[in-house]
Chains A and B, each alone.
Chain A
């Protein structure tokens, strides 16, 4: 079985996608053997009514998700009273995590409000996913160009929050030439494989990092789900590593999650 940590519901703002209706998405994930999908909402990228985005996300997961979809609410700490959005995610919706889009929400991780958010999320025990990018910057719509999130400050911030659990999504373009060790040393920082590239890229990533820090993420339905699976196949991973990547590592981050 597969735990896919990087799936989104609703509409990508720039084109319709096969799988952007929740029932279809759930059907497709089930056919691929996905037993659990951590889902955010594409709406979070540009919508300002984040409370509405999260309410719809929760509703879609309840109506169509079965046991598969685990909602990860959006937070935009540049919006007034973002703390109430976090409270709702945790207390009203019992969400296991939140997903951030700092580049689309136009803040740097050096902004003190990010440290405040990280502290609040750690205190409430929710996983923080940072979507470092969503698509290749070269192909972005000319009116909506968002460079990858600058992660330089992140290790120091994570060090100050030993209870924090973070996952970096779609991080490859931003960090491909940098050392990842500072993130590993800082605390519980995990990396998905959705944008990892190069021959046997997944295997090389699991050699480069402690293997338990690498988790399966597809960026479906914006990306073809098959890309993540085929990358694993191309890498020729041993069975134990395959199991870690497909579900073991994600289950370590989110043990026994309930909605």
Chain B
């Protein structure tokens, strides 16, 4: 965590939203989920001015996930759900109870999505799946992690579903992604993410910093939108925005 904060400082990143701890397990057990959430909460406790936590859940364990949401978000320090990445595509009915819990606390949900040229892993969600889920829950706020990877299609898929924001991390620092997302969705529906661990802050930050968009749009993408999205839960918990 010290290295993360040190690197974040060097490129001007004020706040980190942490989730999943060290886990890259595609099918986490309840023990792994709990352990990684504990790891995140320890990091947040240690760096309260730099990090927020977002709870790691699995729709394969719906009852456990709801209890874990209560432990970490309702009764704990966490402020978001996800990145939800595990086991089942996010259009599955098992996601509904998790989303309803998130709505009850007004916390956003970060949902992993990809559309890999070689085919997705079993249970891996696409933006199409997220659109289905978002349409079932119009009062929830979703962040489409990686915008499906194949962003030129991903942006179009989510365009008409206004409660989904596009997140731009997790693939090469390709020129044009942020420009297209801002053009098609509006700057208020695009957010920076680093996917740090697998990636660095820098390559993903460059997608925004180097984009041919107005400064005001960059400010929204780099923080303004997330501040707006997280404002209700941060207020409820008495945190600084």
CB of A195 within 8 A of CB of B200, answer: no
Q: How far is the CA of A139 from the CA of B7 in the complex (A)?
A: 28
Interface string of A211-230 (1 = CB under 8 A from B): 00000000011111111011
Tell whether, in the assembled complex, residue A138 and residue B175 are in contact, meaning their CB atoms are under 8 Å apart.
no
| Structural contact, B150 and A139, CB atoms closer than 8 A | yes
Q: Is B150 a contact of A199 with CB atoms below 8 Å?
A: no
Check A139 against B210 for contact (C-beta < 8 Å). Answer: no
A200 to B196, CA, bound (A): 11
Interface centre among A17, A140, A198 (most CB of B within 10 A): A198
Chain B residue nearest in CB terms to A142: B117
Do A135 and B172 touch across chains, with their CB atoms under 8 A apart? yes
Interface residues of B in 96-126 (CB under 8 A from A): 114, 116-118
B10 x A236 contact (CB < 8 A): yes
A198 partner residues in chain B, CB cutoff 8 A: 197-200
Label chain A's interface by main secondary structure.
loop
Q: If A18-B212, A138-B117, A234-B7 touch, does A223 touch B176 (CB 8 Å cutoff)?
A: no
Give the distance in Å from the alpha carbon of A139 to the alpha carbon of B200 in the complex.
Answer: 19
Chain A contact residues, CB within 8 Å of chain B: 15-19, 135-142, 145, 195, 197-201, 220-227, 229-231, 233-236
The stretch of B57-65, B67-75, B158-166, B201-209 that contacts the partner chain: B201-209
- In the complex, which of the residues B171, B176, B202, B212 contacts A230, with contact meaning CB atoms closer than 8 Å? B202
> Residue-by-residue, is B185-223 near A (CB-CB < 8 Å gives 1, otherwise 0)?
000000000001111111101110111100000000000
Given A145-B117, A230-B202, 5 other A-B residues pairs in contact with their CB atoms under 8 A: A17-B175, A223-B206, A224-B174, A224-B207, A234-B10
> Would A233 and B199 count as touching, CB distance under 8 A?
no
| CB contact under 8 A between A227 and B203, given known A138-B171, A233-B11 | yes
Q: Which residues of A contact B152 (CB under 8 A)?
A: 15
Interchain CB contact (< 8 A) of B176 among A15, A139, A225, A235: A15
Chain A residues positioned under 8 Å from B25 (CB to CB): none
Cβ–Cβ contact B174 & A200, under 8 A: no
| Cα distance, A18 to B11, chains bound together (Å) | 24
**B209 touching A200 by the CB < 8 A rule?**
no
Residues of A within 8 A of B235 (CB): none
Complex interface: chain A residues within 8 A of B224 (CB): none
Closest to A140 in B: B117
Q: Which of A137, A220, A224, A229 counts the most chain B CB atoms within 10 A?
A: A224
* 17 examples of A-B residue contacts, CB within 8 angstroms: A18-B176, A135-B174, A136-B172, A137-B117, A139-B150, A139-B151, A139-B171, A140-B117, A195-B172, A197-B198, A197-B203, A221-B175, A223-B174, A233-B10, A233-B202, A235-B7, A236-B6
- On chain A, the residues within 8 Å of B114 by CB distance are 138
Question: Would you call A139 and B172 a contact (CB within 8 A)?
Answer: yes
- Which of chain B's residues 147-161 have a Cβ closer than 8 Å to chain A? 149-152
Contact among A17, A195, A223, A234 for B201, CB-based, below 8 A: A234
Q: Which residue of B lies closest to A195 (CB)?
A: B172
B173 within 8 A of A: yes
Residues of chain A lying within 8 A (CB to CB) of residue B6: 236
Tell me, in angstroms, the Cα distance from A16 to B118 when the chains sit together.
24
Q: Which residues of A contact B236 (CB under 8 A)?
A: none
6 closest residue pairs by CB, A with B: A230-B202, A224-B210, A227-B206, A227-B173, A226-B206, A226-B210
Complex CA–CA separation, A222 to B203 (angstroms): 13
Residue B17 CB within 8 A of the other chain: no
Q: Which residues of A contact B196 (CB under 8 A)?
A: 199
Shortest beta-carbon distance from A163 to chain B in Å: 34
Q: Does A231 contact B202, Cβ atoms closer than 8 Å?
A: yes
Say yes or no: B3 contacts A17, CB within 8 Å. Answer: no
Given contacts A138-B114, A139-B117, contact A197 B199 (CB under 8 A): yes
Partner of B116 from A15, A138, A233 at Cβ < 8 Å: A138
Closest residue of chain B to A133 (Cβ to Cβ) is: B172
